[in-house]
Structure 1
Amino acid sequence: MKRLKQTFVFVFVLCCIACNREKHKDGNSSKGNINEISIVISDVLWNGEVGDSLRKKFAAPVDGLTQEEPIFTLNQLHDKSFDGGFKKGRNIIVIDNDAKKGYDFNQNNYCSHQNVFIIKGRSIDDIIAEIDMHSDEIIRKIRETEIDENQQRNIKLGLVNDKPIENQYNISINIPSTYSYAIQNKNFIWLKKDIPSGNNNILLYKVPFKRIEREKTIVTNIIQMRDSIGNEYIHGQEPGTFMATEEAYSPYLFMTSFRDKPAFETRGNWEMKNDFMNGPFLNYAIRDDKHNCYLVIEGFIYSPSSPKRDLVIELESIIKSVKFL
């Protein structure tokens, strides 16, 4: 009887997920904090190997942060939570241990801007195998959704006048009105947002191809480029202090593309030389063949007493709003 009840409940859940694309046409949008996943799973599985596997994949530490923070915040949901958090959650993983091994992805089925991932298997080993197989795909999709969600929230907040950036760099960029111009000259633009524990920052500048590509030591060249910009423009309160790449943590370098342009993505930590300030940074060097240069857009954070994961996503969402004109 208990088994029958569990089956009925799960069928009900799937019906709620898949039932009517029509229901979100009234503007009924998903809810939830940034970087949050709701996981529908029994206590037995959540407290065992399946839960461990989920936490290992989706709550692993974020690369590039000195303080350990999980990629996502995981919230377990029980059957009785369906009517509350479940229907409006933006990112949901359903663990079905009463179906043939498999994986399904449903988007915007119950409300708009929603991802539902269903992982199925009759044994613990089957479920863990599906988690291992599809976790990278799930992470990638959720990150895309969270960046898009941030961008929509930025637009709703109102945007900074980006005409100076457009005139100087031939791009548009959606920066929330909570930011303001700190430095603006013909070679460099710096925008800053004050937060209770510090500030969030966006930098824009250009460098010639050889500044990054010489001798093929890309990461060293990017570090030297960052440090020279910090030495010139970003100083502490005391004489002789300037922002530089922190030597104790090797930056992560990725080759990627940005609006179909080759780019280098660098994540790491900065420090204030001869001072005690530091924090994470996210740097994109985008090859602009039309203007024979790299456009460099960087976000960095100073927030010593608070979590930084969501602040990094905010910066990434701003940078990825860039469009070349």
Structure 2
Amino acid sequence: MKKIGILAVILLMALFACNDSGKKKRFLPQSTGGINSLMVVMDTELWKGAVGDKIREHFAAQVLGLPQAEPIFSITQIPPQVFKGAVTHSRSVLFVEQDTVSLAHVKTNVYAEPQKIAVIKGETYNDLAGNIEKLSGQAISSFKQVEIKEAQKRFTRSLSKETALQEELGISLRIPSLYKLGKREKNFVWMDIQIPKGTMNIIAYEMPKESFSTDSTFVRDIIKMRDSIGKMHVPGPYENTFMITEKAFAPYVLPAEIGGKKAAEARGIWEISGYPMAGPFLTYIINDEANQRKLVLEGFTFAPSAEKRDYMFELEAILRTVKFNSDAGS
């Protein structure tokens, strides 16, 4: 009887061991690729033709709010037979294939982690073009999310310990340690970093809760706010020069969610009043009801004669790490 009991225990242990092993997470290698790079896997003839044009129309569209044309993604196209081995570890992949099956969906962590693969199939040009139109918005959003997380992962290896944002505004941002405090006043903080021939900048401040109460004047009020803050806090190189919103073009304004709160996103061009300096900006106006205010976060870049997409993307990745001290217990 003792032997039977021991045997039963061994069998039960083996059964549980099998169950545990079945729950183990599948190992996936780390994904690879430069920030904002997109691997397009499709037949080269398709890529050179109208289907490729449709892909470029969406996935190489111009980034909003930059002074010169720069694409959303830097695209590398390869034929399907080359998509094997380490190449499959690319972080953002668009797979397009002519097939009797028609489909369009986004898959997660297929060959590597983190990874997003948008798959588009169709038999005719109209099938493929329709599926590209159908999936492009979701695919671009998915690619951008995984690229933002990758950018954040890279710069959070060494973070700034500056406490001015917490002390003045009750917030924290995960800012790389190379950014330094440039200016601190009541309810206003400015941090920046030197880059080749220029700077990348982050400013944060608050506005009254009732600001921007009228939709019909929303864009005009954003410009007025930015110009007022620029005159007060962001001087140009000479006396009586300061940052304003470029007069020739109104900023693009879109809905957003930042730090778990509703926000407005504004992208456009800043310039220096009375002096030939300019560059792109990204502003988030966050509805911070817990603190009865509008919190404003902005990133702007000065980098003449340089591409600015990736600079602005890093600033966006930083601003999207905002946490509110008032939410710490929630």
TM-score (norm 1): 0.89
Distance 1:269 1:85, change over 3 A: farther
- State how far apart, in whole Å, the 1-side matches of 2:284 and 2:115 are: 28
Amino acid in the other structure paired with 2:54:
S
Matches of 1:193 and 1:83 in 2, distance apart? Answer: 40
Matched residue, 1:178: 178
Kindly indicate whether the alpha-carbon contact (under 8 Å) linking 2:206 and 2:294 is maintained by their aligned counterparts in 1: yes
Work out the CA distance in 2 between the residues paired with 1:247 and 1:118.
42
Distance across 1 between alignment mates of 2:103 and 2:35 = 28
Q: Which moved more, 1:242-251 or 1:114-123?
A: 114-123
Say which SS state the counterpart of residue 203 (structure 2) adopts: strand
Structure 1 equivalent of residue 168 of structure 2? 168
Within-5 A mapping of 1:230-245: 230-245=230-245
Structure 2: 5+ residue stretches without partners? 1-23, 326-330
Q: Give runs of aligned pairs for residues 216-295 of structure 1, distance below 5 A.
A: 217-295=217-295
How far apart are the structure 1 equivalents of 2:259 and 2:278?
31
Aligned-residue offset at 1:79? 4.0
The counterpart of 2:26, out of the listed 18, 22, 26, is: 22
Looking at structure 1, the residues matched to 64 and 258 of structure 2 have their Cα atoms a distance apart, in angstroms, of 20
Partners of 2:259 and 2:321 within 8 A in 1: no
Residues 201-216 of structure 1 aligned to structure 2 (within 5 Å): 201-213=201-213
Letter in 1 for 2:170: N
Question: 1:190-242, CA deviations, whole angstroms, 9 ceiling, x for partnerless residues?
Answer: 00011003111000111112343268512111111111111111112211110
1:256 alignment partner, SS class: strand
Q: How far apart in 2 are the matches of 1:22 and 1:294?
A: 44
> SS of the counterpart of 1:22?
coil
Structure 2 matches for 1:1-325, cutoff 5 A? 22-24=26-28, 28-79=29-80, 81-83=82-84, 86-156=87-157, 158-213=158-213, 217-325=217-325
CA contact (8 A) 2:36 2:74 kept: yes
Give the secondary-structure state (helix, strand or coil) at the position aligned to 2:236.
coil
**What secondary structure does 2:156 align onto?**
helix
Residue deviations 1:126-177, cap 9 Å, x none?
1111101110010111111111111111112x11114221122222210111
| Alignment CA distance shift 1:165-1:142 (3 Å) | same
Number of matched pairs: 302
Further displaced range: 203-212 or 254-263: 254-263
- Of 43-52 and 100-109, deviating more is 100-109
Task: Give distance in 1, aligned partners of 2:81 and 2:63.
Answer: 32
Query: How far did residue 106 of structure 1 move?
Result: 1.8
RMSD, matched Cα? 1.7
Summarize deviations over 1:72-96 as a string: whole Å, max 9, x none: 1111012453246622211111112
Residue identity over aligned pairs, in percent, reads 37
Amino acid at match of 1:236: G
Q: SS state of the match for residue 213, structure 1?
A: coil
Letter in 2 for 1:22: R
Higher mean alpha-carbon deviation, 78-87 vs 261-270, is at: 78-87
Letter in 1 for 2:59: F
Task: State which structure, 1 or 2, has the greater radius of gyration over its C-alpha atoms.
Answer: 2
- 8 Å CA contact 1:162, 1:172 repeated in 2: no
Give the deviation of 1:286 after TM superposition. 0.8
Q: Distance in 2 between matches of 1:102 and 1:21?
A: 28
Secondary structure of 2:282 counterpart: strand
Q: Is the 8 A contact 1:205 1:296 kept in 2?
A: yes
Q: Segments of 4+ in structure 1 off by > 3 A? A: none
User: Is the Cα–Cα contact under 8 Å of residues 213 and 221 in structure 1 kept in the other structure?
Assistant: no
Paired residue type of 2:288 = D
Give 3-state SS (helix, strand or coil) of 1:212's partner.
Answer: coil
Q: Is the 8 A contact 1:21 1:109 kept in 2?
A: no
Change (3 A) 1:284 1:59: same
* CA gap 1:120/1:79 in 2 versus in 1, 3 angstroms: closer
AA of the residue aligned to 2:140: I
Quick one: distance in 1 between partners of 2:105 and 2:219? Answer: 39
**Alignment CA distance shift 1:258-1:79 (3 Å):** closer
